[in-house]
Amino acid sequence: MAGLDDVFGDLFSNVDGVALFSPSGSYYERFADLEDVEVIVVGTENDVGASTFVELPLEFEDISDRIRFGLEGALDQEIIDDGDTLACATSVFGDDIDTVSRVRADADNHTGIYDLFARSRADPEVVKSVLELAIELGQKGQKGKPVGALFVVGDAGKVMNKSRPLSYNPFEKSHVHVGDPIVDVMLKEFSRLDGAFVISDAGKIVSAYRYLEPSAEGVDIPKGLGARHMAGGAITRDTNAISIVLSESDGLVRAFKAGEIILEVDPEAY
């Protein structure tokens, strides 16, 4: 009679490495004597003292995002190679590791999620909140109609110096932060109007209605994208900010860093 090893053996056979997501010390110790297989710990902290570690900036609730981030980080740090197959062990239903996925590292399928969170100046929770806000706007629009929006996150002082107001700044004397449900409702309402939102590294809404004035020379964006994307890309080349842009025309959310698109998300598939 076949046992579970016979049924599930292919899941673990011929893997090039094992990625453990936030393992306990006792769980990690089980892998200490493995030979010929790289053991990688991925987590917000290296609590187990692993020699090979990829830091998560935050605990991604979505398991696919969590694994995707870990593999992109491992590829970026040259811990693994393009095409390597890994057994990724993580927790889904509780605090302990309970799920294993067999995943192939694919550098050509680079999503940019590692660059966006690990290499951005802004707090990862702020980046996550703005990204989710843009995605929600892309899913629901404004009163059922498609809407475009531009959020510039981080290095707010330089961004303000490279922009000018289009109208009165409703956040000028306020101390509100992105991620607050009431504030997010306000941002959705203001997204109907022209201009960019400027958000600090810590998430404070610095301004709305900003006309960005960076030089667009040398910034290359895909054909069909307009001034909003050009401004969003250019401001990230001239400052240490990132920008998150919702396209009114094709409905996609794109993130720019250092003048280049590093992430593209379809809100309907998110």
Tens of pLDDT, residue by residue over 185-201, are: 888 888 877 899 999 99
Domains and CATH numbers, the chain: 4-112 (3.40.1380.20), 120-269 (3.40.1700.10)
Is the pLDDT score of 220 beyond 70?
yes
Percent of the chain's residues with pLDDT above 70: 96
pLDDT digits (tens, 9 = 90+) for 133-173: 999 998 887 666 778 899 999 999 999 999 999 988 989 88
Kindly report the CA angle at 129 between 125 and 132, in degrees rounded to 5? Answer: 135
Task: Give 20's contacts (C-beta < 8 A, 6+ positions apart).
Answer: 27, 28, 31, 39, 40, 41, 42, 89, 90, 97
As a whole number, the mean pLDDT across the chain is: 89
Is the pLDDT score of 5 beyond 60?
yes
Q: How many helices (H) and strands (E) does the chain have?
A: 8, 12
Task: Give 269's contacts (C-beta < 8 A, 6+ positions apart).
Answer: none
Give the pLDDT confidence score for residue 160 in this predicted structure: 96
pTM for this one?
Answer: 0.82
Which DSSP helix (H) or strand (E) runs through 41? strand 38-43
Q: Can you tell me the mean pLDDT for 34-53? A: 90
Polymer length of the chain = 270
Give the pLDDT confidence score for residue 47 in this predicted structure: 92
